[in-house]
Amino acid sequence: MLFKVEMIVKLPVDMPKDVADEIKLREKKYSQALQSAGKWRHIWRVVGSYANVSIFDVESNTELHDILSVLPLYPYMEIRAEALCRHPSSIHDNDK
Amino acid sequence: MLFKVEMIVKLPVDMPKDVADEIKLREKKYSQALQSAGKWRHIWRVVGSYANVSIFDVESNTELHDILSVLPLYPYMEIRAEALCRHPSSIHDNDK
Amino acid sequence: MLFKVEMIVKLPVDMPKDVADEIKLREKKYSQALQSAGKWRHIWRVVGSYANVSIFDVESNTELHDILSVLPLYPYMEIRAEALCRHPSSIHDNDK
Amino acid sequence: MLFKVEMIVKLPVDMPKDVADEIKLREKKYSQALQSAGKWRHIWRVVGSYANVSIFDVESNTELHDILSVLPLYPYMEIRAEALCRHPSSIHDNDK
Amino acid sequence: MLFKVEMIVKLPVDMPKDVADEIKLREKKYSQALQSAGKWRHIWRVVGSYANVSIFDVESNTELHDILSVLPLYPYMEIRAEALCRHPSSIHDNDK
Amino acid sequence: MLFKVEMIVKLPVDMPKDVADEIKLREKKYSQALQSAGKWRHIWRVVGSYANVSIFDVESNTELHDILSVLPLYPYMEIRAEALCRHPSSIHDNDK
Amino acid sequence: MLFKVEMIVKLPVDMPKDVADEIKLREKKYSQALQSAGKWRHIWRVVGSYANVSIFDVESNTELHDILSVLPLYPYMEIRAEALCRHPSSIHDNDK
Amino acid sequence: MLFKVEMIVKLPVDMPKDVADEIKLREKKYSQALQSAGKWRHIWRVVGSYANVSIFDVESNTELHDILSVLPLYPYMEIRAEALCRHPSSIHDNDK
Amino acid sequence: MLFKVEMIVKLPVDMPKDVADEIKLREKKYSQALQSAGKWRHIWRVVGSYANVSIFDVESNTELHDILSVLPLYPYMEIRAEALCRHPSSIHDNDK
Amino acid sequence: MLFKVEMIVKLPVDMPKDVADEIKLREKKYSQALQSAGKWRHIWRVVGSYANVSIFDVESNTELHDILSVLPLYPYMEIRAEALCRHPSSIHDNDK
């Protein structure tokens, strides 16, 4: 079951660089583990912004929230999740 | 080169059903040809809306506009295109 | 799996009353059948508006879209669906 | 008398964890007491957000304000209340 | 129990004058009957707009919706209702 | 001459309680003096918000600004003033 | 007593030219009479828009509404009025 | 060449009063010098807001930016400039 | 003197093709004449939209309005003009 | 391949002047190097704002993001990028 999730990161401008780097590193590892597991299907950078567009494939709303709410950057992000489903014109088997 | 494109369809409520059906049929064929050609990578329906979220893979801005501006539903759609690029956390080779 | 769905109805002001009444009657029957089946858990009128706030309980995003997109009033409504999940403070067993 | 209430929580990013935890604990207890009393009928988490959608059942506008304005998280929340009433299509006795 | 209600009137520009006049006359009579009954406490014109700001005093959300939804101009208005309650600084006995 | 004035209060979350209480007390006294003088005709709390809806009766735009700009909470408020006038349907002598 | 009034004109695209011209001519005469009388102090065109920014000098809110609501273009305009008063830095005697 | 310029002032709530007063005094002197020179034609206070509506008469876009960008309050203001020109209905020689 | 002008075209969906084509042809000729004259410096299509971003180089606000207000597509466009000036980092002689 | 990029700069009001000056100097040098290289085609100041409108000419979305994301002012800016392409009415060879 697919969701488009858009995340905008707003780190405080006075956060020490090493603190920010450590959070981003954990975020990256966590994201990559979820990508390997097939839960986080796609992640793209929005050009010119500290933001991403992602596609998640989860079993339920609850699973999506459980994944998002423990993101290391969660306290610093604005997140919008939008439920998707198969488009009748799609020819791609896994666009569902 | 990837773009997220969001399309909202607003057909006039008094458009005859056969006219609408004919436009939608052409839209579907055109979309599927572009999907087969690898240009229209993904298309998903937004739950509860006559709208889609799509990912296009094109050579240039011009190619994207040339594709979108001849969509049969083009005169009846609001379209927003957003440039994407590879996210440093992505592990998927083709998320670029 | 729960979704909050908000629907705003915008009938053309020149739609003949009997046409509107017939559509509304079918909408009502369809809504009540879904309520009886447990899919459409709640429906409330928004005070002062031709609009409702509803809670749906479905198996998947696809099921929700399949339900909404055949509503008799669908061509005349603005619909926004928002995915919900269990709140950690809830004491109600079925608020999930 | 029913109201849909949407609450978005915005804790300062530099609030010490134990301070935040203590406030959240009081919020939870207070919310659960009101749920037990039948005043706070439903509470759901919005997927991907530190926010909830709730349904309150109160005697008057005043009672609703009195409940909301002493929420432990009240100083850190954006709250929107919307008056609801029975929908003519509802088959649920208590959707009023 | 008080509500602030704001109404914006949008009559079709091609509505015949006598049709519009007849609707407005019924609206006026209905409004004045509700004012006499103490339900529609205040009504003011917004300067420069075909709009009003009103204060209603009703027993319940349902009563307010029942009043508003049969306004002769209802199909041509955008209406927003906002629940009010007594302000702790008020010295007016009936500002509640 | 009447104005609807809407005020939203945004106190800094780290303002000491005694400082806030002292400002609020002065605000209340000032508001009540203006109510007694007939200038501040109505004040209502917006349910669920640290905000009010008020009706002022003043001689001129200048008088209204002079009143509002010395409110003790003025530096912490967003204020919107909207000019009102008599509605042709009003039956209340002082709704002008 | 001064007000800034912004008017955006939206004539139906299918209004016959002679009908539009006749309305515009009456609008112009009415506007110029009010300018001569000192009520409509300034009127400027917004570059690139069928819109104007105006300054009115009136005795009361009511007088402003009475002037605006009989503008020949009134049914085709969006109007926003904003109350102004003397700025403490102004050196112009009549900027009040 | 005329521009409508709207300025909203947002001083930090913790700025010491003497610092704020010194900036405001310089702002006033600078504004009055420009008014005397005929560049800053009008300045009005927006009722209920720490904001102004102004009319500037300058030779070029560049001159306007050079004037605005050295305002003592510039770092604390949101500024919107809108190009104006003569309205065909104007009877005032200098409304251009 | 430079302005960024953004134009969004909204032709009625029922406008006959030959009428639309004739308007677009006149628009194109007029645009190209102004480009040749150096007044309309740049025009770009916005990808996915019937819209353009343009840069005009004019002597005054009035000249810009006179150019825009006789565009053949003017009655069908939303236009926003924004005044530009030289950026201190620019190395291009004519970016002014 | 062209993009319109709009940047709004929001430096913290308490940033020391020498820190700000050093960042701005690096921004200027970096911008001018990119202008010399033909990547940053145009940069204009928005009148009355600490903001610019720019045109970039890049090989890909990725190149644009790589350029923007290392701007010295990047952590302090809101950036919006919009893909452009050749307009059919353009007579300028390099408006593409």
pLDDT digits (tens, 9 = 90+) for A37-65: 999 999 999 999 999 999 999 999 999 99
- Report the distance separating Cα H83 and Cα B81, nearest Å: 30
CB E40 within 8 A of CB E31: yes
Say yes or no for a CB contact (<8 Å) between G13 and I76: yes
Considering CB atoms only, which of J52, J82, J91 is closest to I35? J91
pLDDT at residue I81 greater than cutoff 80: yes
G67 burial class (0-12, 13-18, 19+ CB within 10 angstroms)?
buried
CB C71 within 8 A of CB C30: yes
Q: What is the pLDDT of residues J54-71, one digit of tens each?
A: 999 999 999 999 999 999
- Phi/psi for D66 (5° steps) reads -60, -35
* Token pair for B43: 């298309």
The residue among C64, C20, C66, C23 whose CA lies nearest residue C41 is C64
- Report the distance separating Cα A46 and Cα D57, nearest Å: 43
- Report the distance separating Cα B33 and Cα B67, nearest Å: 11
Does the CB of F75 have a partner CB in chain H at under 8 Å?
yes
Which chain E positions have a beta carbon within 8 Å of F84's beta carbon? 44-47, 53
Which residues, 6 or more positions from C74, have their beta carbon under 8 angstroms from its beta carbon?
Answer: C68
Q: What angle do CA I29, I35, I36 make, to 5 degrees?
A: 90
Q: What is the pLDDT of residue I39?
A: 98
Residue C4's CB is within 10 A of a number of other CB atoms, namely 19
Closest Cα in chain A to B41: A92
Q: What is the pLDDT of residue I93?
A: 83
Say yes or no for a CB contact (<8 Å) between F60 and G85: yes
Q: What is the pLDDT of residues D15-69, one digit of tens each?
A: 999 999 999 999 999 999 999 999 999 999 999 999 999 999 999 999 999 999 9
* D86 DSSP β-pair partners: C44
3-state secondary structure of J84: strand
Residue F72's CB is within 10 A of a number of other CB atoms, namely 17
B20 burial class (0-12, 13-18, 19+ CB within 10 angstroms)?
middle
pLDDT at residue E4 greater than cutoff 80: yes
The alpha carbon of residue D12 is apart from the nearest alpha carbon of chain A, in Å, by 9
In whole numbers, what is the pLDDT of chain A averaged over residues? 96
Considering CB atoms only, which of A65, A75, A76 is closest to D48? A65
Q: What is the pLDDT of residues C56-78, one digit of tens each?
A: 999 999 999 999 999 999 999 99
Residue of I8, I47, I78 for testing the chain B interface, max B β-carbons within 10 Å: I47
CB G89 within 8 A of CB H28: yes
pLDDT digits (tens), chain H, 96 positions = 999 999 999 999 899 999 999 999 999 999 999 999 999 999 999 999 999 999 999 999 999 999 999 999 999 999 999 999 999 999 988 877
3-state secondary structure of G70: coil
Which ipTM score applies to this complex? 0.95
CB E9 within 8 A of CB E50: yes
Overall average pLDDT of the E18-30 stretch? 98
Indicate the helix (H) or strand (E) that contains J21: helix J17-36
Considering CB atoms only, which of I42, I47, I86 is closest to J95? I42
The alpha carbon of residue C33 is apart from the nearest alpha carbon of chain E, in Å, by 24
Interface of F with H in 34-63 (CB under 8 A): 61
Cα distances from C70 to residues B35, C42, C64, C75, in angstroms, run 27, 18, 11, 9
Q: Band of the pLDDT at F83, cuts 50, 70, 90?
A: very high
The residue among E69, E88, E89 whose CA lies nearest residue E77 is E69
In whole numbers, what is the pLDDT of chain I averaged over residues? 96
Q: Annotate I27-57 with DSSP letters as a single string.
A: HHHHHHHHHHTTSEEEEEEETTSSEEEEEEE
Which chain J positions have a beta carbon within 8 Å of I88's beta carbon? 28, 45
Q: What is the pLDDT of residue H93?
A: 83
Which residues, 6 or more positions from G58, have their beta carbon under 8 angstroms from its beta carbon?
Answer: G1, G3, G39, G64, G67
* B57 DSSP β-pair partners: B2
Would the pTM of this model clear 0.90, i.e. be above it? Answer: yes
- How many helices (H) and strands (E) would you count in chain C? 2, 4
- Report the distance separating Cα C11 and Cα C23, nearest Å: 10
* Token pair for E18: 């006598």
Residue B59's CB is within 10 A of a number of other CB atoms, namely 11
CB C15 within 8 A of CB C64: no
Closest Cα in chain D to E62: D85
Q: Band of the pLDDT at J10, cuts 50, 70, 90?
A: very high
CB A37 within 8 A of CB A29: no
* C71 DSSP β-pair partners: none
pLDDT at residue I23 greater than cutoff 80: yes
The residue among G81, B42, C43, J35 whose CA lies nearest residue E49 is G81
The residue among C90, E64, C3, D83 whose CA lies nearest residue F48 is D83
CB F64 within 8 A of CB F56: yes
Sign of the Cα torsion G21, G25, G31, G32 reads positive
C72 burial class (0-12, 13-18, 19+ CB within 10 angstroms)?
middle
Which chain C positions have a beta carbon within 8 Å of D35's beta carbon? 89-92
Overall average pLDDT of the G27-35 stretch? 98
Does the CB of G85 have a partner CB in chain F at under 8 Å?
yes
Name the one residue in this structure whose structure tokens are 């669920």: F48
Say yes or no for a CB contact (<8 Å) between C83 and A61: yes
